[in-house]
């Protein structure tokens, strides 16, 4: 028999966060989060996402043992302003037991129906900067700090319970040696002259912060037409600056501005923290912080996290400037492999952007949907 308990206390939420540590104990591919960081993201007083969203956390018990978990989210910006009548769910993990997965998803369904919503979709987070999708291909590749990893049986549980594919995401990789600088070096000079553009490079995080709000505004403008988009609010900008920018080597952030110093494009690349996080085992102290700092400076693998180009500058060759700057940085640092975060299957423009690098699809993930 399966029983559900809502996690509300600090101790219960810690159990919620730590459940995957036992579920994936023997997996060489799962990348654990930092426990305190995950707890902070679930804290209504610290995460500004809660200003526009409600979230409830449930643990499933079978024979008195924690056997699954789920977060059920209603993003009221999405429901009331975008008129997308859905209940979200994420952080959905469970043992290979149909009773457990069904009980958790029924709870999400119950909450959605209570609020007269039309459908449920997951796994997703609060916003576009959260993790997304259940892995359906690529189980023998190490995860990243910005994606969920899961066992192969998850897909079977969704489909048995009547869920259908809503969105599909692809993850690509390519070696830096695949980059032919002749493809973008000449175009880089031409585009900068034609449109009066220039690149901005950074060496210190403090140099990035004054322009970070412009970057988030451009992110909202760039991604607003994607079906999964929920805009970043003013309060969230401050939160994300504090939470993420310090993790990123400032040399891996590139901005492009016009002749009036207006930001027209940005790109963020993150060093791979996967192996460092595995060594940290969920804790920054006493030694986890050193593994992360070492990876920040010396990782030979990088993740292309975000690229944003103002709509009126798209298809004008601006990516040549971005690639040219990264080519110089990667060559100087001896970067071996580039990975890309999940990209929507429908996003043809992003695939065109990368076609000259001959990327290989090595993972696929999906969100699933069910009508209420």
The sign of the CA dihedral 202, 205, 211, 213 is: positive
Q: Which residues of the chain have pLDDT under 70?
A: 226-228
266-325 tens-digit pLDDT: 999 999 999 999 999 999 999 999 999 999 889 999 999 889 999 999 889 999 999 999
Shared domain for 155 and 39, answered yes or no, is yes
Tell whether 372 is covered by a domain: no
- Per-residue pLDDT, 123: 98
Shared domain for 189 and 244, answered yes or no, is yes
Rounded to the nearest 10 degrees, how much is the dihedral formed by the CA atoms of 30, 35, 40, 42?
Answer: 60
Out of 169, 187, 203, a domain closes at 169
CA gap 346, 344 in Å, rounded: 5
- Per-residue pLDDT, 194: 95
Shared domain for 155 and 91, answered yes or no, is yes
Out of 150, 169, 188, a domain closes at 169
Structural domain count of the chain: 2
Q: Which residues partner with 269 through β-bridges? A: 304
Tell whether 337 is covered by a domain: yes
Q: What CATH number corresponds to the domain at position 93?
A: 3.40.630.30
Q: Which residues of 259-287 are buried (b: 16+ CB within 10 A; e: fewer)?
A: eeeebbbbbbbbbbbbebbbebebeeeee
Shared domain for 18 and 153, answered yes or no, is yes
Shared domain for 56 and 133, answered yes or no, is yes
Tell whether 371 is covered by a domain: no
Angle of CA points 32, 34, 37, to nearest 5°:
140
Domain that holds residue 6: 2-169
Residue 157: CB partners within 8 Å, gap ≥ 6? 94, 98, 101, 102
Shared domain for 225 and 313, answered yes or no, is yes
CB-based burial of residue 42 (10 Å sphere; 0-12 exposed, 13-18 middle, 19+ buried)? buried
Radius of gyration of the chain (CA): 21
209-237 tens-digit pLDDT: 889 899 999 988 888 776 667 788 888 88
Tell whether 55 is covered by a domain: yes
- Per-residue pLDDT, 228: 64
Secondary structure of the chain: what % helix, strand, coil (to 5)?
A: 40, 25, 30
CB-based burial of residue 91 (10 Å sphere; 0-12 exposed, 13-18 middle, 19+ buried)? buried
Shared domain for 213 and 349, answered yes or no, is yes
Pure H helices in 24-59:
35-41
Shared domain for 251 and 179, answered yes or no, is yes
Whether omega before 337 lies within 30 degrees of 0, making that bond cis, reads: no
Shared domain for 22 and 113, answered yes or no, is yes
Out of 169, 201, 224, a domain closes at 169
User: Which DSSP helix (H) or strand (E) runs through 169?
Assistant: strand 164-175
Shared domain for 186 and 302, answered yes or no, is yes
Tell whether 370 is covered by a domain: no
Angle of CA points 76, 228, 31, to nearest 5°:
100
Shared domain for 50 and 98, answered yes or no, is yes
Tell whether 280 is covered by a domain: yes
Shared domain for 129 and 255, answered yes or no, is no
Angle of CA points 95, 74, 220, to nearest 5°:
110
Q: Which residues partner with 306 through β-bridges? A: 268
Tell whether 209 is covered by a domain: yes
CA gap 41, 73 in Å, rounded: 13
- Per-residue pLDDT, 70: 98
Tell whether 90 is covered by a domain: yes
- Per-residue pLDDT, 227: 63
At which residue do the structure tokens 């451009």 appear?
A: 218
Residue 75: CB partners within 8 Å, gap ≥ 6? 49, 52, 53, 88, 126, 127, 230
CA gap 55, 282 in Å, rounded: 23
Q: Which residues partner with 122 through β-bridges? A: 368
CA gap 72, 120 in Å, rounded: 10
């Amino acid at each position: 028999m399966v029983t559900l308990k809502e996690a509300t206390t600090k101790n219960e939420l810690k159990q919620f966060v730590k459940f995957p540590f036992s579920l994936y104990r023997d997996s060489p591919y799962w990348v654990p989060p930092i426990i305190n960081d995950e707890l902070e993201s679930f804290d209504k007083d610290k995460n500004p996402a809660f200003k526009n969203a409600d979230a409830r956390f449930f643990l499933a018990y079978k024979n008195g043992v924690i056997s699954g978990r789920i977060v059920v989210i209603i993003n009221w910006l999405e429901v009331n302003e975008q008129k997308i009548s859905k209940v979200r769910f994420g952080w959905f993990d469970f043992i290979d037991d149909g009773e457990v997965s069904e009980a958790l998803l029924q709870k999400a369904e119950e909450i959605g129906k209570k609020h007269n919503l039309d459908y449920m979709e997951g796994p997703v987070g609060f916003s576009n900067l959260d993790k997304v999708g259940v892995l359906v291909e690529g189980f023998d590749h190490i995860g990243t700090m910005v994606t969920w990893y899961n066992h192969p049986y998850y897909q079977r549980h969704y489909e048995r319970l009547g869920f259908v594919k809503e969105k599909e995401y692809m993850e690509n990789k390519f070696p830096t040696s695949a980059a032919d600088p002749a493809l973008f070096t000449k175009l880089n000079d031409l585009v900068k002259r034609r449109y009066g553009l220039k690149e901005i490079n950074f060496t210190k995080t403090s140099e990035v912060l004054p322009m970070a709000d412009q970057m988030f505004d451009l992110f909202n403008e760039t991604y607003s037409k994607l079906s999964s988009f929920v805009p970043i609010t003013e309060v969230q900008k401050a939160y994300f600056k504090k939470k993420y920018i310090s993790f990123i080597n400032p040399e891996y952030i590139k901005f492009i501005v016009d002749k009036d110093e207006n930001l027209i494009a940005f790109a963020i690349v993150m060093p791979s923290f996967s192996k460092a996080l595995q060594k940290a085992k969920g804790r920054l102290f006493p030694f986890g912080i050193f593994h992360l700092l070492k990876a920040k400076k010396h990782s030979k693998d990088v993740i292309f996290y975000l690229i944003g180009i103002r709509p009126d500058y798209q298809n004008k060759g601006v990516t040549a400037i971005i690639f040219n700057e990264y080519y110089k940085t990667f060559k100087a640092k001896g970067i071996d492999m580039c990975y890309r975060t999940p990209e929507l299957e429908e996003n043809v423009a992003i695939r065109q952007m990368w076609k000259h690098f001959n990327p290989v699809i090595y993972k696929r993930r999906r969100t699933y949907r069910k009508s209420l």
